[in-house]
Structure 1
Amino acid sequence: MKLSYQMYEAAHLAMAPARALSDAAFLWAKNPINPFSYTAYGKNIAAGAELFERMTRRYGKPLFGLDRTSIDGREVAVTERVVWDRPFCRVVNFVREGEIAVERRSKLLIVAPMSGHYATLLRGTVEAFLPDYDVYITDWSDARMVPLALGSFDLDDYIDTLIEISRFLSGPSSAKLHTLGVCQPAVPLIAAAALMGADNDPLAPASMVLMGGPIDTRRSPTAVNKMAEDRGTEWFRANCLETVPFPYPGAGRRVYPGFLQLSGFMAMNMDRHVNAHQDMFYNLVRGDGDAAEKHRDFYDEYLSVMDLTAEFYMQTIETVFVRQALPKGEMVSRNRRVDLSQIRSTALMTVEGENDDISGLGQTQAAHDLCVGLPDEMKQHYVQMGVGHYGVFNGSRFRSQIAPRIVAFTRAIDAGHGALTLS
């Protein structure tokens, strides 16, 4: 049995004395009554101590922190409430002031990826849609925090969860439900829509927006896609799975650990991360607080990772990236074939980034070729020029170009118009 998880925990504990010493040096070098704090020597000590602390820190789950939004030029308060709760997922609703009991025109369920980062990675996505929708988001649990006695969670459970949430949010409400899947959820979201369509489920979502998702990884395969296909399922099983150690609540559970995922994320763009930390050091020495704060905000989120259950990770690798079962018509969930031609009433919009190095161009658009039961007027595709994977769902171009198109698409569906009526 591999002991990488235990070694990781031991290494973190072993660094405790060094972190304590670094913290003391930081407090000394930043103390305003210390004359050295105003010298180049003191500023270098403080900057180095802060970087050391940040590079050895254990980052916890961030907060959404979305307490205000602007509607028609009027600022209103926003509060969070959990409306649906299960061991591996809860649904968070962002309630605009004075509207808890008000029936709004449409709901938007944002399906966050279960791929290492927390749902808060989509903070900017949520914020962009708050003025226009009653917004909900899937807040997936860190597998190491879920006791083993509460059972397993695989890709089939993920699909079942999305179906259950869709039915819950649609319910007796007259407001239409729209769904949006960012990256990894594109496959289970479209699979859930197909299964609901096959059942002629009246509570199926009115639309789904798939953003930078791996529907067909045979199209424009990226380095990530090629690695998965070349190495095969068993390589990942042998090299990526660990057992959660005591004293975590999920002790004994097999997982794909967050720290392994993070090392993979960092390795893909190591030069950029090294340069970013060097820049932060120089900004701290120069006293450029705004630039340093932007660095802190980004890496507070980026370095916060969660464990995935082994069964979910392995089933996703096998189904989506190795076998490419969905576009081949071979995907099965609970002994039922996932037939995308059964999607007849859930409108489809796909969004891709020109420079996406995770889900290559055409991988998400492939959904249109597979959803043959949908008329063309219920489909729309958009490619955002000049953005990579992250820019598909966050950043200035997302806010100014992508989000307004999504809002227009869903409003056309609400009004009974087809997507082709949109410019």
Structure 2
Amino acid sequence: MLYSVYEMNRLAMTPWRAAANATRRMMRAPWNPMGDTVAGRTMAAAAELFESVTRRYGKPEWMIDATLINGHTVAIEEEVVWSDSWCDLLHFRRDPQALVEARGKREDRKVLFVAPMSGHYATLLRGTVETFLPDCEVYITDWQDARMVPVSEGRFDLDDFVAYIRKMIAFLGPEVHVVAVCQPGPPTLSAIALMAEDKDPSRPASMTFMGSPIDTRKSPTAPNILAEEKPFDWFAQNLIHTVPAPNPGALRRVYPGFLQLAGFMNMNLDRHVDAHWNFFNHLVEGDGDSAEKHRVFYDEYLAVMDLSEEFYLQTISDVFQEHKLARGIQEHHGRRVDVSAIEDIALLTVEGERDDISGIGQTQAAHDLCSNLPDELQLDWVQPEVGHYGVFNGRRFREQIAPRMRDFWDEKGGAALKRR
């Protein structure tokens, strides 16, 4: 019922958004003498603010057309190299001829980014991808919005997520470096542990976990505490809703993205209110650069996707309430996941000093679980002065974290391959 009410409210606002858009265009038209007045700019700013906060934001585009290598512009083409009902594996293919001209013939690192399936689209890692394009073959998981997946495609739970990760790693081969950002840390570690126990020849060279909830008992944050305090039935009864028609996934039971977004916003509500107030003032003052930065950030931040009921509830149960992987009792389709089986896959963990989503120690817990992995194949880094998003994006990520990741892949990832 809640989902249907949300959709009806969104549709009811359509004429008001159209009116706001018309007002904004009229106030900014070059022929309108009011456009350059404070009153005109205020009306245009109010109209744009109204439209932006009442809009449903669709899946963002990657908008990565090229990268710069040694002063040469190298064109980028997105290509889907592996696909299933719930995920596409994207490759950011660099133009081969331009690449050779830019830095000669050489084989670059192959990196798989496992994007979060926690409400936002994979494009949240756009800056992360851009950082590594000059010297890496970059692949990323592009998860599907459950609202867009027909019921006929079947269920999708945490076990399916693990199976997808294993299939994609196997597809890319043993020299790939796997990077799990935030939510996919536990299932990615599970997939790699299963590959290690099976002595799978395509197991990766290294694994990196960034701000991941490997063990949420350590330094619990507000989301962790909420998951612990509320009984499992509360999540099932209050947060799961049915996708209404005419969405492709009509009748599918999901955790709606708009509820996840509401949770994100409420964690730092004052900051978001201030950001929108400043956006309004920048528009009135004619500060186009500051206004555009706001648009770019919130066009991404407000674009959210639904999660399937079974995936969301199993994640709540296994990761945040029962801590199954951390306690050594996680199972995949009835088979116990033995993380200690990992012996020749290099491990890097990255945490943010000010992370209010995955607290200090939650990601580091991966080192304790990999009890048979030699110390020389392990590395831990806590980045000072960054929060959760600063772990994988922003200036400090580009200047301090990314170089460490490259060195780790080359040194410890290479050493891991030599041990096989």
One-letter identity of the residue aligned with 1:224: P
Task: Give the 3-state SS of the residue equivalent to 2:327 in structure 1.
Answer: coil
Question: 2:129 aligned with 1:146, yes or no?
Answer: no
Give the structure 1 partner of residue 228 of structure 2.
229
Give the structure 2 partner of residue 104 of structure 1.
107
- Structure 1 residues 136-215: aligned runs within 5 Å: 136-170=139-173, 176-215=175-214
Give the structure 2 partner of residue 218 of structure 1.
217
One-letter identity of the residue aligned with 2:22: A
Question: Shift of residue 72 of structure 1?
Answer: 2.9
Contact 2:345 2:416 in 1 (8 A): no
Give the structure 1 partner of residue 275 of structure 2.
276
Q: 2:220 & 2:352 partners in 1: Cα distance?
A: 14
Give the structure 2 partner of residue 375 of structure 1.
374
Give the structure 1 partner of residue 41 of structure 2.
43
Could you tell me which of 72, 93, 96 is aligned with 1:95?
Answer: 93
Q: Comparing 19-28 with 99-108, which one deviates more in the overlay? A: 99-108
Question: 2:313 aligned with 1:323, yes or no?
Answer: no
> RMSD in angstroms over aligned alpha carbons?
1.5
Structure-1-length-normalised TM-score: 0.95
The 4+ residue runs of structure 1 with deviation greater than 3 A are 99-103
Question: Shift of residue 414 of structure 1?
Answer: 4.8
Q: 2:134 & 2:16 partners in 1: Cα distance?
A: 46
Give the structure 1 partner of residue 401 of structure 2.
402
Question: Shift of residue 74 of structure 1?
Answer: 2.4
Contact 1:256 1:313 in 2 (8 A): yes
Give the structure 1 partner of residue 248 of structure 2.
249
Q: Deviations over 1:9-44 (max 9, x none)?
A: 000111122112212211221111110111111000
Give the structure 1 partner of residue 135 of structure 2.
132
Task: Give the 3-state SS of the residue equivalent to 2:138 in structure 1.
Answer: strand
Give the structure 2 partner of residue 32 of structure 1.
30
Percentage of matched positions with identical amino acids: 56
Q: Deviations over 1:40-91 (max 9, x none)?
A: 1100000000000101111000011111112233221111100011110000
Q: 2:222 & 2:154 partners in 1: Cα distance?
A: 34
Give the structure 1 partner of residue 51 of structure 2.
53
Contact 2:122 2:143 in 1 (8 A): yes
Question: 2:124 aligned with 1:121, yes or no?
Answer: yes
Task: Give the 3-state SS of the residue equivalent to 1:135 in structure 2.
Answer: strand
Q: 2:267 & 2:80 partners in 1: Cα distance?
A: 35
Task: Give the 3-state SS of the residue equivalent to 2:401 in structure 1.
Answer: helix
- Structure 1 residues 227-376: aligned runs within 5 Å: 227-376=226-375
One-letter identity of the residue aligned with 1:129: F
One-letter identity of the residue aligned with 2:96: G
Consecutive unaligned residues in structure 1, runs of 5 or more: 419-423
Consecutive unaligned residues in structure 2, runs of 5 or more: none
Contact 1:132 1:407 in 2 (8 A): no
Question: 2:15 aligned with 1:17, yes or no?
Answer: yes
Task: Give the 3-state SS of the residue equivalent to 2:231 in structure 1.
Answer: helix
Q: 1:264 & 1:40 partners in 2: Cα distance?
A: 36
Task: Give the 3-state SS of the residue equivalent to 2:195 in structure 1.
Answer: helix
Could you tell me which of 76, 85, 89 is aligned with 1:78?
Answer: 76
Q: Comparing 41-50 with 98-107, which one deviates more in the overlay? A: 98-107
Aligned residues: 412
